[in-house]
Amino acid sequence: KDRDFCLVSETNLHINGHFIGKSKNQGLKRDFTWVQSIGVQFDSHKLYLGANKVAKWDDARDELSLLLDDQPIVLQPGRGADWESASAPGLKISRLQDANSVTVEVAESFVITARVVPITAEESRIHKYEITEDDCFAHLELNFKFFALSPQVTGVLGQTYSAGFKSPVKVGVAMPIMGGEDKFAASDLFSADCKVARFAGRAIESVAGRNFPEVACGSGSAAGRGIVCRK
């Protein structure tokens, strides 16, 4: 918890995630963690998507923060509202619901679907998260779709697209852990300084025509297993 990790790193795309969480309960070896925000770097631009800190959750209130190059993005309320960037050609953001759910697209590069959700009192009770009334730990549920990745792509998620990747996760254990903290840790949300970073802010030699599967990342709260990502 309270750390930043590289999710995807290419020469022209770098995505870090900031994790929030609760200290582990007795008997567990890991903290409970959720992705509070992501920092997306593409070309010379920096895009921030983050869930606000919230005490009591209200579905009707928008708790998603969006910034491009440190400037707030003003996305009109209401399902279907669109915003297109004048400074970052190809960048488009659209609301999927009246609040807290958007798609972010950079043409020919990626589509990210982001939804802000809380940890509910019932989830906390079942999984012993010990969520208190001052913070419902609002976080992001994410879906990634990529259109141009090279075989050298890396990052916690990016490595799963690389040639010859074999998952180190032990399937069937109560809380499977991928590991790799030393390789993927970053100093902040927009730092491409993890040990395996490839970002250089220039076009990549992409694999044209490949059909990259989508990756969905959420809290996995139904199973009580922290962050779960599935292709």
Give tens-digit pLDDT for 46-63: 999 999 999 999 999 999
Cα gap 142→139, rounded to integer Å: 10
- Tell which wins on pLDDT, 209 or 200: 200
Please state the domain count of the chain. 1
Please name which of 123, 122, 78, 128 lies closest in space to residue 102, comparing C-alpha atoms.
78
> What is the pLDDT at residue 186?
96
Does residue 97 fall inside a structural domain?
no
pLDDT of residue 93: 98
pLDDT confidence of residue 211 = 55
* Confidence band, pLDDT 50/70/90 cuts, at residue 230: low
Q: Does residue 88 fall inside a structural domain?
A: no
- Spatial distance between the Cα atoms of 156 and 6, rounded to a whole number of angstroms: 6
pLDDT higher at 101 or 177: 101
15 within some domain: yes
- Categorize the per-residue pLDDT at 179 as very low, low, confident or very high, splitting at 50, 70 and 90: low
Q: Does the residue 107 lie in any domain? A: no
Domain containing residue 70: 3-76+112-183
Work out the pLDDT band at 99, boundaries 50, 70, 90: very high
pLDDT at 188 over 50: yes
Spatial separation of the C-alpha atoms in residues 225 and 135, rounded to whole Å: 20
Q: How far apart are CA 230 and CA 118, in angstroms?
A: 20
Quick one: three-class SS letters along the chain? CCEEEEEEECCCEEEEEEEEEECCCCCCCCCEEEEEEEEEEECCEEEEEEECCCCCCCCCCCCEEEEECCEECCCCCCCCCEEECCCCCCEEEEECCCCCEEEEEECCCEEEEEEEECCCHHHHHHHCCCCCCCCCCCEEEEEEEECCCCCCCECCCHHHHCCCCCCCCCCCCCCCCCCCHHHHEECCCCCCCCCCCCCCCCCCCCCCCCCCCCEEEECCCCCCCCCEEEC
- Percentage of the chain modeled with pLDDT above 70: 78
Q: What pLDDT, on the 0 to 100 scale, is given for residue 62?
A: 96
Q: Residue 134: which pLDDT band, with cuts at 50, 70 and 90? A: very high
Two tokens, residue 39: 């920092």
Q: Looking at the domain assignment, is residue 175 inside a domain?
A: yes
pLDDT for 139-174, tens place per residue?
Answer: 999 999 999 899 899 999 998 887 776 766 665 655
- Tell me which residue of 70, 228, 225, 85 sits closest to 143, measured CA to CA: 228
Taking only the tens place, the pLDDT of each residue in 4-26 is: 999 999 999 999 999 998 876 65
Q: In terms of Cα–Cα distance, which of 134, 88, 85, 143 is closest to 114?
A: 143
In a domain? residue 90: no
Largest CA distance in the chain: 52
Domain annotation covers residue 46? yes
Mean pLDDT of the chain: 85
Q: How crowded is the C-beta side of 26, counted as CA atoms within 13 Å? A: 0
